[in-house]
Each structure stands twice: as structure tokens, then as C-alpha cells.
Structure 1
Amino acid sequence: MGESAEWTRVDDGRQALDLLTASYHRHQFARHSHATYAIGVVTCGEEQFRYRGVLRRAGVGTLAILEPDEPHDGMAARPEGWAYRVLYPSESLLFDGRTERAIFREPVVTDPRSVHLVRSAHEELTAGVDPLAAQSKLAWALEAVVQRHGALRPAPGAPKPGDAAAGRKVAEIRDRLLADLRCAPSLRELAAGVELSPYHMLRVFREATGFPPHAWLVLERVCHARHLLASGRTPAEVAGAVGFADQAHLTRWFKRVTGVTPAAFRNSVQDAMRRPA
């Protein structure tokens, strides 16, 4: 199985949706998270990934459902690698029209019906031939995922003492990191800004986000790079704009997180946008 990956961005009629079609042999994803859900079907081979502290395996016939902001990695579970198709719906798209939200306790499930619906929707969306049919299949697929595998979120309990204060400090740290992606503050500056020791600040931030500040910032840089590349900016332009040292630095991290190079991502998204409606 060779290495290949293609990102596509489509408009499902309500909002933009990212899709990934890929096959990997030796590629290993760095530990990262997504701002959206990730719903994927393995079409060949088997993948393994560490998620919520447990090593999971997803093979042909399984459906993988990852929630937003949940750290995970990804690599081949067998020497022959794996191939898959992944949808990345936002929360508003996945729960369209619902007042209640669901959680997905099992990240890997065996469900032929949901696998068929997700794969069919993905194929129709990437083909770009019949937008109405593709949007209908996507709606059916997402409905099946929520109905068959989601569980209503439990009512929130009473907040623990200090939770609100810690949350405000984490938000302040995030804002400081995002204020200028090109120039990260020092660890001591971040800690002083929220009146914590560097060690205490690191622990609070990691407990809230799953990452230390420097790793979280790299992922945010990759996220911003994706938006700029999708708009048509070149990798060389984007690297400096989001704070990477150079194009090679951007390429290294972008591929570790997304599975493709910045140039390949830009070209695939631009090609999809140029397709006639």
C-alpha cells in the first residue's frame, strides 16, 4: 500500500466540511486534536491510535468517532498500513437542529450500516457530481452516527472549587498565545500573566487542553495554516504568517498533523473549489 492523501473542502449547503481520503504505510501522526469531530471508515488494512489513555484499533468494517479537542495520534497497526475516508463535521453540523448534544463513549464501533452510510456520503461529496444527493447522504450518515452511537450528555454537576478560576486562567493563556502566532511569549511571561508559577501554569493548562502550551501553539499554527492555504496562499507565505521558522518547518509539522504536505493540501482544496457546481 502506497502513501497518498488528499484533503477536500466542500460546502454541504450549510457550512464548509473537510474530508480526507488517504492511505498510509509508514506515516505516523503526531499527537494532536481537532476542532471538529472526526468520523472515519477504514477501507483497507488497520489503524491504531491512542485515545483517552487507551490504544484503539480500527480495521475494515469499523467506524471511528473522535470528539473535538481530544488528543490522539495515529499509525499503522499492521505492516501493510491502512487506508481510510474521514469526515470532519463541526458540532453544529453534526447536531443540526438539535437542542441536545451527545457524547460518544466508544471511539471505535462495528456497525456495517453506519460504515456504509459514512463511506457513501464521503464518496458522493468528494465526487462533486450531484451536490443535492451528496448533501442528502451526508445528512443520513450523520443522523445515523448520532442516533446509533451517541449518548445524551449527562447534566453537569456542581463545579469544583477553583474550576472557574482555572478556566479563566487557561483562557487568558490561550488568548496570549493567539495574540501573535509569530512571536510566542516565554514560559515565565505566560505564568506571570496569570499569577502562577511556571510549573503550576503548565499543569493547569495541560489538564485543561491535553497539551503543554508550546505543543498547543504548534497545533494552532497548523490550524491557521490550513485556513490560509485553503484561501490560496502559498506555503512559503503561510509559514512566516503563522510563526513557523521557514517552509520546511511548516511542512514537517503540517504533515505530522494532517498527513499531507502544505502544498498537497492547498492544491487539493483549490482543485475542489474550482469544480463546477
Structure 2
Amino acid sequence: MREQARFWRHPAVPEVDLLKARYVTHRFTRHVHEGYAIGVILEGVEEFDYRGTLNRAAAGQVVAVNPEHEHTGQAGEPGGWAYRMLYPSIDTLSSLAAELRLPPGTPHFPSQVLTDPDLARLLTSAHAATEHGNDLAASTLIRTAFARLLRRHAIPRPAVELPASGDLAVRRAVEVLHESLIDPPSLDDLARAVQARPFPLLRAFKAATGLPPHAYLTQLRVRHARRLLEAGVRPAQVAAEVGFTDQAHLNRHFKRIVGVPPAAYQRTAGTYKTPEIGSHTL
């Protein structure tokens, strides 16, 4: 079976990215999302490590990944898995939770694999509506699906502050990495810049962000690359502007985090084109 994927947005739900894919050998490297990752497994089994816990999601189950929580993704059986994924922003679900008059706080999903057939069917229908439905159907079904997800499976979670020990150094280190996409410092130089020792900084950084500094930097580069691709910048130029050595380097890391290559992402992200599953072979 070929690996196939399509990434797009619908104009009626601009704060929600959409992915429809089948993966067999593809593996998502450890990464985080700025928003949520909500999906329905259509076939097979997806296996993913979520903050040190191994999860398995089978056909008919729902996956719920919280923002900025590190996780992986790979096949849980030889045939791989197929799924529909929705990536709503934090503001999208927080605003909806407020409209529903749910308890205040950022929505948080304590369980990452949900067995809820009604919700799975509704999420699948909502996702399909962005392919085949009109603006009203797409926006209505997605909001209805997210409302059910929030009411049944979310709890409020206040903003989590960084640990008191080393938090200032971590905050400064994050700022340095944001400013150093092209020419990042070594761990020793980063530690000196924030007046910390390398290994204590490494431990504190990973505890606060879920990723070591080098992986966090790759995540930043890919996020910036997405914005440039959406603006129409050519992938080769994007690679240079975000600090990757060449386009192949960008392709490798981009696909491991986003699930599709940069050129495929650029063709559809930010525009609505009725996607056909299998229209892009990985």
C-alpha cells in the first residue's frame, strides 16, 4: 500500500488545519504542536509515545494531543494506519469552551486515546465536509464535533508556569533560539548567554518544553518554514531563510513533523481545493 497524504485548510474554518493520510513506514519524529491535534483512526493502528507513555489507537478510536506536548507517531502494525486529522488552534477551542460556558481554563485532554463511536463518526463527517460540503456545512459540523469533544472529554487547565528552578534561564534560552534560526549557538554558548551551566540548562529546558534545545530549534524552523511557504516563498529559499543547510534538509525535517513534504504543503495550505485522497504520494 502506498503512503498518501493531503494537507489543506477550508476558508470557513481558517484556524483549523486538516490532514487526510495513510502511512505505513513513515515515522513522525518527536515534536509538539502549537495547537491541538485531534484525529480519527480510519484503518489500522497508530502507535505514539506521548510524554513517555506509549499509546496505541485503533480503527474507530479518537486521538487527542494537547498543545506543546511532545509526542511521536508511527505504525502500530505492519499495514500502517489511515486517519483524518484536525489541528485547531488554542484560541479556537478556548473560545468555543467559553461559548459553551464550560469551566474556565484552557481545554486539556487527560486521555490521548478516546473510545467514543459517536464522536468518531461526527469528527469524520465534519472532516469530510471540508472536502465535499459547502462553507455552512463544513463550519457547522466542525464546531458541533469540537463541542461534543469538549463536553465529553476536556477538563480546564490553567496556564502552567515553568518550574521555579532554572525558569529564567530557560526563558532566555528560548528567546535566544528564536533569534538564532540561521546561526544557532552551541549548548555551551547558549548556557553562557543565559548565565547557566550546560547540563542543568539542558535538563531544565527539556522539563519545560518537552524537547532538548536542538530539537526545539528544528521545531521553530519548521514553524517558520510553514509561514513562509504559505506566503508563496519557494522551498529552496525557505530552507536558506530558516537555517536548514539545503532543500533536502528542509524536506526531511518538515515531513517528519508535518507529515507531508514542503512543496505538497505549499500547494494546498491556506487555499481550498477539493482534495482527493491519494492525490499526493509520499
Common fold, TM-score beyond 0.5? yes
Please state if 1:217 is matched with 2:222: no
How far apart are the structure 1 equivalents of 2:185 and 2:175? 11
Unaligned runs of 5+ in 2: 99-103, 276-282
Residue number in structure 2 paired with 1:102? 107
Residue number in structure 2 paired with 1:92? 91
How far apart are the structure 2 equivalents of 1:270 and 1:61? 29
TM-score normalised over the length of structure 2: 0.89
Residue number in structure 1 paired with 2:52? 53
Residue number in structure 2 paired with 1:29? 28
How far apart are the structure 2 equivalents of 1:184 and 1:266? 26
SS in 2 for 1:239: helix
The structure whose RCO (Cα within 8 Å, separation 6+) is larger is 2
Contact 1:19 1:122 in 2 (8 A): yes
CA-to-aligned-CA distance 1:47-99 (integer Å, 9 cap, x gap): 10011211111111100000011111111111111100100011110122514
- The one-letter code sitting in structure 2 at the alignment partner of 1:80 is G
CA RMSD of aligned residues (A): 2.1
CA-to-aligned-CA distance 1:171-195 (integer Å, 9 cap, x gap): 2111111113111122222111221
1:23-172 matches, cutoff 5 A: 23-97=22-96, 98=98, 99-127=104-132, 129-153=133-157, 163-164=163-164, 166-172=166-172
Residue number in structure 2 paired with 1:12? 12
Residue number in structure 1 paired with 2:204? 204
- The one-letter code sitting in structure 2 at the alignment partner of 1:120 is S
User: CA shift at 1:254, angstroms?
Assistant: 0.8
How far apart are the structure 2 equivalents of 1:270 and 1:200? 41
Contact 2:46 2:56 in 1 (8 A): yes
Contact 1:8 1:126 in 2 (8 A): no
Residue number in structure 2 paired with 1:245? 245
Contact 2:32 2:70 in 1 (8 A): yes
User: CA shift at 1:44, angstroms?
Assistant: 1.1
How far apart are the structure 2 equivalents of 1:141 and 1:185? 44
Aligned structure 1 segments of 4 or more residues deviating by more than 4 angstroms: none
TM-score normalised over the length of structure 1: 0.91
Unaligned runs of 5+ in 1: none
Contact 2:64 2:113 in 1 (8 A): yes
SS in 2 for 1:35: coil
Residue number in structure 2 paired with 1:233? 233
Contact 2:47 2:56 in 1 (8 A): yes
SS in 2 for 1:18: strand
How far apart are the structure 2 equivalents of 1:122 and 1:267? 19
How many pairs were matched up? 269
